[in-house]
Amino acid sequence: MATLTALERRPASAPLAEILSLLERDGGLVIEGMFPRELIDAIRLAADRRAVLVDPGSATQGLGEDGAAFVGANTTRFSSLGKLTPAYFDMLDNELFASIADAVLLPTCGSYWVNTAQVMYIGPGEPAQVLHRDGNNWWEFVSRTWPNSPEVTISTMIGLDDVTEEVGATRVAPGSHRRPELQRFEDDLETVPAELGPGDALVYSGQVLHGGGANKTADRTRRAMHLSFVAGWLTPEESSAIDYTTEELAEQSPRVQRLLGHRSYDPRPHRGGGLWLKEVKAIEEN
């Protein structure tokens, strides 16, 4: 196999059509400056304050020995970011990510919501994570339609600090979203690191193989966060709908309310009917 080249990088000002073309071709790309530095600094400050209270390896996503290895023994993970800083809600209103998610997900759903927003601080000495596909969270559906399954999720890994290969930048196998012969998990596959500056984002398909890189340092932490959306007819990882109260989201935009499960879901946009209703009221206006 020919040596892989680095992931394509584009500024946030690049044409949307170009970004979507690269995403479709390679399965992922780095968008530089996708989120403003002021917002990133606010999230980084809140995340650092919370991280010291969370034990590395304590994330409950992984069950058994394999699950524990997946979440990382020296990796600190936590979500519910809107409880830590209102900057999180501004992140959800990012226009570029909204445009990308609309293009990728709306062909298969009426609307989408947050899958998870999770701080992922990889500590010194943490080995590389096994390569995986985010879409396999919904394995029963994906496995029955693979390799022709539609995109059901779109993900980002966002730099909260300088994220280099040395500290564990996420590794990606470009083009693996088009390779059905690859199994669900792969260890022996050539990958490239997605190095990030603060506010840069790796945007990637739910079908591309990727995984956290090894932190080869003795005293530095990889500071990044994951933000992903999922089709509205699927169950997300994070239970945002019960995490935030109606009062907490009252001043947020209709988009943020919908992303966090506080608006009903129309499976047939603009045709009436709805799911996720409260007290069987009529579907709320978009």
> For residue 277, is it within any domain?
no
Q: What is the CATH number of the domain that holds 122?
A: 2.60.120.620
pLDDT 10s digits, 215-261: 999 999 999 999 999 999 999 999 999 999 999 999 999 999 999 99
Task: Kindly tell me if the per-residue pLDDT of 65 is higher than 60.
Answer: yes
Q: Which two tokens stand for residue 65?
A: 């020995």
Provide the mean pLDDT of the chain.
Answer: 91
Query: Which is higher by pLDDT, 172 or 276?
Result: 172
> For residue 198, is it within any domain?
yes
pLDDT 10s digits, 124-166: 999 999 999 999 999 888 777 777 889 999 999 999 999 999 9
Cα–Cα distances (Å) from 216 to 57, 147, 223, 263, in that order, read 18, 35, 14, 44
- As to burial, measured by CB atoms within 10 angstroms (0-12 exposed, 13-18 middle, 19+ buried), residue 91 is buried
> For residue 264, is it within any domain?
no
Q: Which domain holds residue 164?
A: 9-239
- What SS3 class is residue 265? strand
Number of domains composing the chain: 1
> For residue 98, is it within any domain?
yes
> For residue 26, is it within any domain?
yes
pLDDT for the residue numbered 286? 47
Q: Which two tokens stand for residue 190?
A: 């050539």
> For residue 71, is it within any domain?
yes
> For residue 253, is it within any domain?
no
How many other C-beta atoms can be found within 10 angstroms of the C-beta atom of residue 130?
Answer: 15
> For residue 209, is it within any domain?
yes
